């Protein structure tokens, strides 16, 4: 793999704009090469051959002896009221052919390197502050451990002495960086006031407005109310240890990212300077790299020291001084795609295709759709199995999302907050999808084969229960508490689903409204679940030829309710975010779902009642909801169709390099809303 592709593949997506623009520097080198080629061709056409040979020999000798093509100076700049060191390169041979391109090259290289150097310095300063915060939090944990071990409180001085050490420098924790939700809670550990009468710890005033104690720190991490008494139990100790372990692990990963950032950018400068020397026939790389080696980007050892310190603390306090065990937690866990997963996915896919073909042949051979009785049977069975079809299709689309996220380096595991090393790859999702599809198709064929007793020509009761057995099996697998079939992912899904259902009572995070949006596209699947309840709850499954669900008033009422539940949940999420963030844009987003609720209700009413009035009203509200929702999602959510952008009605920064993908997505999105 060429360095350019490797450089891009190893970028941290969140820091993509802060890397050296290696590709743009290569385009400038191409301009330099083209300029020199034109100059060489002109010289060859106007100079005799013996003179050209003499000139080449002279240029080679000059290239070896001349070492002063550039001069690198350190200057001081004032940026946002702070003095920062910057590097400026002076090209000494600007008068030669193509010199203006070389001046542009060094000017661009200086700008990119100063950007990288300043970004790295800022991140190191942030890491230093966060390390100080974690160090104080670790001291609080040690004190808490001593208190738990001393249940009889015969020697409280141990805890109090550690408390004083913690608070001695706790005022520096206030500026700690917070990169994740875990670190948000942990960074506030040493900043909360403790207003209750402390009988265990003496309150120590740090400044005029803030009081900090290790006890309030532990209360904060355990989410214990300030007025409640903190219990020094082993369960609370384990909870504190668990959260601090996560915080140390995430901080360690950030330090590794910083180390990789420094190495990659220094390597990019080295590579581009070697290319420059080769193309321009200069000897500037050595001098420029001497400056790079002396810069903060390459010379600072702080990240390395912090890495060693985190390793030492983590191994000592979280893995019983077992280095092997400690490093296994700190190092990133990569979900390896096993051959068994790939084989099983292909196997179930092949089985699914074969079963679909077999199902079509059986329906045709038995002429199932040719008789009224059999047609009624199919109309009853189809809604029952339709639920699994929607789920399989949705999982396939999610697997496609994961594939493209990985291809275009979207850090979806960090964005969604998946537990490290447990996020599912697209092959895992496809395996579950094709496995469920194969199981559903087997149930359909089994149902067809058992549909009628060959002797009595009567229907069997167990035949009607096959779809219910399949649904119960799926629910059992999803709720299974044992560590099988991706338990971490199943529990994460259930927790997010619960927060979606209880939308007004919980803070809304990205996984919550992402799942809420997914549920809005699964209205028909939810209606299939409603049909399960009616078909088996009211006993219709005992009389196959009788389907009273569509004429049942309760069923028709819930047919409306089920259609609007996902949109109502998203509306409540928008209202919750509007109140919390005090941002009216979330309220305007909620109007989109409110309009969709009205339109869906009117369309459902027209489907059940018919009539021209219902038809006209449904079309009007559907049109309003369609255009409002399309405008909001494409222009405001996606940031597309913006005027004045360099990408023809798209946003300036595109994740996918192919513009046609965005136009096709907008077109299909419009069709999904019902646009022509």
Maximum distance among all alpha carbons in the chain? 109
With left for phi above 0 and alpha for psi between -120 and 50, is residue 640 left, alpha or beta?
A: beta
Q: How high is the pLDDT of residue 145? A: 80
Residue pair 137/217 in contact (Cβ under 8 Å)? The answer is yes
Say whether pTM exceeds 0.85.
Answer: no
Residue tagged 């409204």 (tokens): 513
Residues 184, 236 contacting (CB under 8 angstroms): no
Rounded to whole angstroms, how far apart are CA atoms 342 and 332?
A: 23
| 396/413: higher pLDDT | 396
3-class secondary structure per residue, 570-618: HHHHHHHHHHHHCCHHHHHHHHHHHHHHHHHHHHHHHHHHCCHHHHHHH
423-478 confidence digits (pLDDT tens): 888 999 999 999 999 999 999 888 877 665 555 545 567 778 889 999 999 999 99
Give residue 151's pLDDT band: very low, low, confident or very high (50, 70, 90): low
Cα separation values, 344 from 120, 248, 271, 396, 444, Å = 45, 37, 43, 15, 22
The residue extents of the domains of the chain are 3-121+272-309, 125-251, 335-504+524-543
Q: Rounded to whole angstroms, how far apart are CA atoms 513 and 574? A: 9
Asked whether the predicted pLDDT for residue 306 surpasses 90, the reply is: yes
User: At 400, which helix (H) or strand (E)?
Assistant: helix 372-407
Whole-number pLDDT of residue 241: 84
Q: What is the mean pLDDT of the chain?
A: 77
pLDDT, tens digit (0-9, with 9 covering 90-100), for 341-383 = 989 999 999 999 999 999 888 878 877 666 666 667 777 778 8
- What would the two tokens of residue 209 be? 């407005």
pLDDT, residue 636, reads 80
Using one digit for the tens of pLDDT, what is the confidence trace for 90-145? 888 877 777 888 889 999 999 999 999 999 999 999 999 999 888 888 888 888 88
Q: Decide if 284 contacts 69 (C-beta within 8 A).
A: yes
Give the sign of the dihedral formed by CA 559, CA 565, CA 571, CA 572.
positive
Task: Answer yes or no: is pLDDT of 13 > 90.
Answer: no
- Helix, strand or coil for residue 134? helix
Residues linked to residue 76 through DSSP beta bridges, in sequence order: 85
Task: For the chain, state the CA radius of gyration.
Answer: 33
Question: Of all residues in the chain, what percent carry a pLDDT higher than 90?
Answer: 27
Q: Is 659 left (phi over 0), alpha (psi -120 to 50) or beta?
A: alpha
Work out the number of other CB atoms within 10 angstroms of the CB of residue 446.
13
Structure tokens at 18: 């802060």
The mean pLDDT of 614-618, rounded to a whole number, is: 83
Q: Report pLDDT digits (tens) over 580-595.
A: 888 898 999 999 999 9
Of all residues in the chain, the percent with pLDDT exceeding 70 is 75
The whole-angstrom separation of Cα 349 and Cα 352 is 5
């Amino acid at each position: 793999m060429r360095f350019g592709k490797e450089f891009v593949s190893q970028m941290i997506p969140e820091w993509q704009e802060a890397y050296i623009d290696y590709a743009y520097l290569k385009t400038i080198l191409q301009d330099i090469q083209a300029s020199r080629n034109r100059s060489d061709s002109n010289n060859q056409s106007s100079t005799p051959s013996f003179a050209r040979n003499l000139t080449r020999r002279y240029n080679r000798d000059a290239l070896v002896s001349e070492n002063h093509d550039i001069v690198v100076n350190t200057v001081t700049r004032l940026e946002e009221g702070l003095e920062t060191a910057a590097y400026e390169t002076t090209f000494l041979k600007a008068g030669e052919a193509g010199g203006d391109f070389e001046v542009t090259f060094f000017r661009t290289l200086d700008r990119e390197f100063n950007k990288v150097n300043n970004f790295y310095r800022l991140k190191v300063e942030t890491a230093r502050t966060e390390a100080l915060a974690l160090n104080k939090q670790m001291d609080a944990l040690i004190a808490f451990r001593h208190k738990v071990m001393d249940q009889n409180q015969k020697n409280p001085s141990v805890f109090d002495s550690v408390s004083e050490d913690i608070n001695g420098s706790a005022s520096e924790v206030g500026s700690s960086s917070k990169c994740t939700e875990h670190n948000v809670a942990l960074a506030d550990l040493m900043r909360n006031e403790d207003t209750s009468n402390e009988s265990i710890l003496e309150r120590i005033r740090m400044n005029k407005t803030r009081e900090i104690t290790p006890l309030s720190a532990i209360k904060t991490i355990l989410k214990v109310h300030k007025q409640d008494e903190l219990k020094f139990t082993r369960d609370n100790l384990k909870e504190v240890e668990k959260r601090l372990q996560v915080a140390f692990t995430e901080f360690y990963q950030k330090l590794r990212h910083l180390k990789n950032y420094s190495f990659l950018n220094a390597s990019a400068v080295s590579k581009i300077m070697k290319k420059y020397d080769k193309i321009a026939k200069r000897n500037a790389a050595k001098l420029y790299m001497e400056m790079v080696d002396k810069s903060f980007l390459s010379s600072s050892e702080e990240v390395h020291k912090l890495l060693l310190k985190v390793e030492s603390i983590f191994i000592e306090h979280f893995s019983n001084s077992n280095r092997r065990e400690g490093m296994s937690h700190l190092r990133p866990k990569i979900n390896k795609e096993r051959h068994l997963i790939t084989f099983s996915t292909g196997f179930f896919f092949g089985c699914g295709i074969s079963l679909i073909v077999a199902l079509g042949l059986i329906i045709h051979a038995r002429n199932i759709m040719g008789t009224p009785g059999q047609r009624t049977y199919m109309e009853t069975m189809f809604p029952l199995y339709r639920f699994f079809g929607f789920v399989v299709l949705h999982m396939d689309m999610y697997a496609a999302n994961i594939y493209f996220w990985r291809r275009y380096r979207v850090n979806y595991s960090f964005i969604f907050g998946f537990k490290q090393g447990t996020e599912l790859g697209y092959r895992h999702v496809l395996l579950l999808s094709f496995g469920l599809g194969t199981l559903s198709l087997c149930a359909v064929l089994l149902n067809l084969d058992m549909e009628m007793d060959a002797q009595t020509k009567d229907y069997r009761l167990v035949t009607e229960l096959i779809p219910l057995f399949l649904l119960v099996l799926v629910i059992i697998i999803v709720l299974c508490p044992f560590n099988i079939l991706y338990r971490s992912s199943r529990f994460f899904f259930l927790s997010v689903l619960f927060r979606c259902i209880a939308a007004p009572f919980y803070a809304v995070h990205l996984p919550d409204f992402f799942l809420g949006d997914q549920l809005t596209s699964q209205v028909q699947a939810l209606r299939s679940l409603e049909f399960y309840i009616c078909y088996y709850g009211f006993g219709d499954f005992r009389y196959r030829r009788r389907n009273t669900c569509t004429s049942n008033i309760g069923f028709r009422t819930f047919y409306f309710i089920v259609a609007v539940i996902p949109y109502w949940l998203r509306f409540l999420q928008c209202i919750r975010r509007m109140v919390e963030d005090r941002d009216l844009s979330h309220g305007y987003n909620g109007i989109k779902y409110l309009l969709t609720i009205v339109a869906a209700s009117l369309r459902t009413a027209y489907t059940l009642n018919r009539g021209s009035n219902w038809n006209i009203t449904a079309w009007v509200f559907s049109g309003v909801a369609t255009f409002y929702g399309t405008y909001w999602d494409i222009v405001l959510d996606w940031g597309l169709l913006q005027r004045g952008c360099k990408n023809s009605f798209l946003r300036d920064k595109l994740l996918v390099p192919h513009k046609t993908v965005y136009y096709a997505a907008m077109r299909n999105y419009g069709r999904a809303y019902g646009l022509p």
